[in-house]
Amino acid sequence: MRRFEPSQPSKGFVATDQKNNMKFQAVILAAGKGTRMKSDKPKVLHNLAGSPMIEYVLDATKNSGIKKITLVIGFKKEEVIQAVEKWAKPHSELQIDFCVQEEQLGTGHALKVAEMQLKNNIPYLLVMLGDVPLVKSETLQKAAQEIESREAAALVITTKLDDPTGYGRILRDEDGILKGIKEQADASESEKQIKEVNTGIFIFDNRKVWNFVHQLKSANAQEEYYLTDIIELLNQSGETVLAYTAEDSKQFLGINSVENLKEIEKEVQLKL
């Protein structure tokens, strides 16, 4: 059996023709069990129209042009690896790697676990969620163009929802400049009225982000290390942070329950 340690990334399916001029790489956060799914199956392996939801996220990432993809895994990691490697077999141009998050201590902690695999000479890092299967590759491409053209330190993809319950709220100043993200559990009553939300998808300047990852603290309602806190830390240091607002909010529907799964299944069936 293969052994995996958080500090030692493990290789999965490795491309034989990896290019050295890549500008973007991706990490997909896929470690969760998903207790509300009422199943002992890893959350990202629940099926949508006959395929595990992680395949939709992998497809969108690949179709955006990214060749190096790292997955942060945890619960029943061997099953996730098997499913991802099966998907990757026809795609010899890709490099797929895995890192293990043994404890679920938040999105910021998940990124830190993958640091050794991700801290390299590829300039930009796209952070994806393994349970948001409807995201469009075109959205990822437009966001990538935005952060590169403006030479920003970070970009968060946002959208607007009539009912933003459960999502982190986007905080802007009087000039509309992104200042931070406030998670639902920590938001004030006025902040909860904000309709613009964090989709959970980020792009970071890979040369700058790691100093701020190590500054993350768990002093919040969930006692977790929030990736979203990096935005405020970057702002405080004088770095440029951007928000790319996508109009089609349905592509960011996440799966946290059996009900969510059924809802998104309908959306997938409509596209088939």
* Active site residues per annotation: 36
Alpha helices per DSSP H over the chain: 53-63, 77-88, 107-113, 115-118, 137-150, 209-213, 229-236, 258-271
Angle at 193 between CA 217 and CA 130, to 5 degrees: 55
Rg (CA), the chain: 18
Q: Quote the distance between the C-alpha of residue 16 and its chain's center.
A: 26
Interatomic CA distance for residues 41 and 228, integer angstroms: 28
Euclidean distance between the first and the last CA atom of the chain, given in angstroms as a whole number? 38
Coil, strand or helix at 8: strand
